[in-house]
Structure 1
Amino acid sequence: MHTAHVIVTLVTAFFTGSAAVVYLIGHEYPKAQADMKRIPRRYVPVLGSLLAAGTVGLLAGFAVPLLGLAAAAGLVLYFTGALVAHLRVGSRNLTGWAIFFGTVLGNLVTNLLYRY
């Protein structure tokens, strides 16, 4: 179980960390997504910061297990909010969301199974 936990955590950290970078460097994609979901663009850096904090928390979870668990739970909540934002505007393009949600949910599950 240790190997699965490490691999899933590293994959999840890669995905969420990459998304955080894209959000924080001011790339056009997150801005277009915010516009489509009718979210003010000023929230894009905030969302990127939340992703970055979740990524750091996942990696810190190797040293402080409770922090990793909290980060995984927080990212599940983050992507649940993303689903709500998609559905609120009638977006049915949920492939990207499903990939991210699957990885963070998988991380939460493996974290729980490994630690408890």
Structure 2
Amino acid sequence: MTIVQPGLLMERDVPITNFSGNVPSVTAKRVYDVRNGAQQNDWRQGVKNLQRVVTDAEQAGETLRGMGTAWSFSPCAVTDGFLVNVLALSRVLDVWNPQDLEDPSELGSVVLVQAV
């Protein structure tokens, strides 16, 4: 495992299969583990880490898919490209607005992802 930057780890050529083993295994070129900063209010590091992963995938021309606990019974997350494991992104933001950014001009580079 390689430390790319604080809170961002990357491993190359990782065999991936789902929990039940019913989806064919693939070898992902890269698997990123993305983490927030250590403090509760340090969510910016997680956003920066996600931005880095998206940029790496775009520059390499690779598919990027999200990965969680590998429980899916469908091949929705199967890729031989890049995977991003977001399990360690544990911050919950009650309210988020552009004023929270250090530089409001960064708004175009922010991606808001929500799950229910």
TM-score between the two structures when normalised by the length of structure 2: 0.30
**Which gives a bigger RCO, structure 1 or 2 (Cα 8 Å, sep 6+)?**
1
Higher helix share: 1
If you compute each CA radius of gyration, which structure gives the higher value, 1 or 2? Answer: 2
Higher strand share: 2
TM-score between the two structures when normalised by the length of structure 1: 0.30
